[in-house]
């Protein structure tokens, strides 16, 4: 499920794997980072160099909080068993517990809209589709500029779930036809749910059409950091999709490419975690 990290992989290569979005998603980034840090700990222990390497890794994708939380726990306990426990939790335990709550949210015959690529949201939908003969269909956004939604659509098709792929700017057109929206999260903060750019637009549209908006996230995505910033990715990710003819006319035009946005809690129906289905008010209380 995750790219394997070998002992000979250098720090700079590990950084490139995360920075290039070859390893993507808050949970996947954390597992990859933990695999690398485990090799570092085996080779040199939990010394100051370990701390510097850990800090370098968590700064690569600063918005996603899971790796940050894991590193804070490792620095407190400094044991290989701590890394192993976190990897097991992220790789299987949390997703399995989250998926079991699908029966409380999903009904047979529902059409669900989703955005970007979230392993936890996918497992939640797959579980909901397969249990007790329930049958779902999914509308997945393409998710520009890196088109992660195409990966989502392929995985849903492999799970024999009917899926329709749409452009991001078609969300409002299709929202009236769905029964619910299910998305993942990179961080859960007091301000709201941090997820792939465009998530807030799904939430605003869902609110307008009176559709429930569910967020699927493990407990390590709770984000109490005081210092927080929305990562902005290279303009080239947007620029490469513009035709060569049009690129010539863009000189002097600034391109911005934020990777995430924040959906205020008032637009969220519930957060499905490995600890249960929680109301926004419960999440906000936890984040105090």
Chain segment 29-63, per-residue pLDDT in tens: 999 999 999 999 999 899 999 999 999 999 999 99
* Nearest-angstrom CA–CA distance, 27 and 123: 13
Number of Cβ within 10 Å of residue 266's Cβ equals 9
Residue 132 confidence (pLDDT):
60
Residue 245 confidence (pLDDT):
67
Segments of 86-158 assigned E as strands: 111-114, 137-141
pLDDT over 90 percentage in the chain: 81
The residue ranking higher by pLDDT, 92 or 14, is: 14
Residue 133 confidence (pLDDT):
67
Q: Report DSSP state, residue 215.
A: E
pLDDT over 70 percentage in the chain: 95
User: Which among 47, 55, 84, 116 is annotated as catalytic?
Assistant: 116
Q: What are the CB-based long-range contacts (under 8 Å, 24+) for 92-95?
A: 93/274, 94/27, 94/120, 94/218, 94/219, 94/220, 94/274, 95/119, 95/120, 95/123, 95/218, 95/274
Task: Mark whether 116 is an active-site residue.
Answer: yes
Can you tell me the mean pLDDT for 137-158? 97
User: Which among 186, 227, 261, 274 is annotated as catalytic?
Assistant: 186
pLDDT band at residue 5 using 50, 70 and 90 as cut-offs: very low
Task: Mark whether 70 is an active-site residue.
Answer: no
Segment (H or E) for 244: helix 244-247
Q: Say whether the peptide bond before residue 145 is cis (omega within 30 degrees of 0).
A: yes
C-alpha distance across the termini of the chain, in Å: 34
Residue 7 confidence (pLDDT):
46
């Amino acid at each position: 499920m995750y790219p394997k990290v070998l002992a000979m992989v250098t720090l700079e290569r590990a950084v490139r794997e995360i920075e290039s979005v070859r390893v993507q998603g808050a949970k996947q980034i954390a597992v990859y980072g933990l695999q690398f840090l485990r090799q570092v700990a085996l080779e040199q222990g939990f010394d100051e160099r370990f701390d510097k390497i850990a800090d370098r890794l968590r700064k690569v994708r600063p918005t996603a909080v899971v790796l940050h939380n894991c590193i804070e726990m490792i620095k407190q306990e400094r044991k290989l068993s701590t890394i192993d426990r976190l990897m097991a939790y992220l790789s299987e335990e949390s997703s399995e517990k989250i998926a079991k709550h699908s029966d409380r949210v999903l009904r047979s015959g529902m059409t669900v809209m989703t955005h970007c690529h979230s392993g936890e949201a996918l497992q939640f939908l797959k579980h909901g589709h397969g249990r007790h003969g329930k049958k779902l269909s999914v509308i997945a956004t393409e998710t520009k500029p890196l088109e992660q939604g195409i990966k989502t659509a392929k995985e849903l098709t492999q799970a024999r779930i009917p899926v329709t792929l749409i452009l991001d700017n078609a969300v409002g057109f299709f929202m009236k036809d769905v029964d619910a929206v299910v998305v993942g999260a990179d961080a859960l903060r007091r301000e709201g749910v941090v997820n792939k750019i465009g998530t807030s637009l799904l939430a605003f549209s869902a609110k307008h059409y009176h559709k429930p908006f569910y967020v699927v996230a493990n407990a390590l995505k709770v984000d109490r950091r005081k210092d927080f910033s929305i990562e902005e990715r290279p303009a080239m990710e947007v620029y490469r999709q513009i035709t060569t003819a049009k690129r010539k006319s863009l000189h002097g035009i600034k391109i911005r490419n934020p990777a995430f946005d924040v959906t205020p809690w008032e637009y969220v129906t519930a957060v499905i975690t490995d600890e249960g289905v929680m109301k926004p008010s419960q999440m906000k209380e936890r984040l105090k």
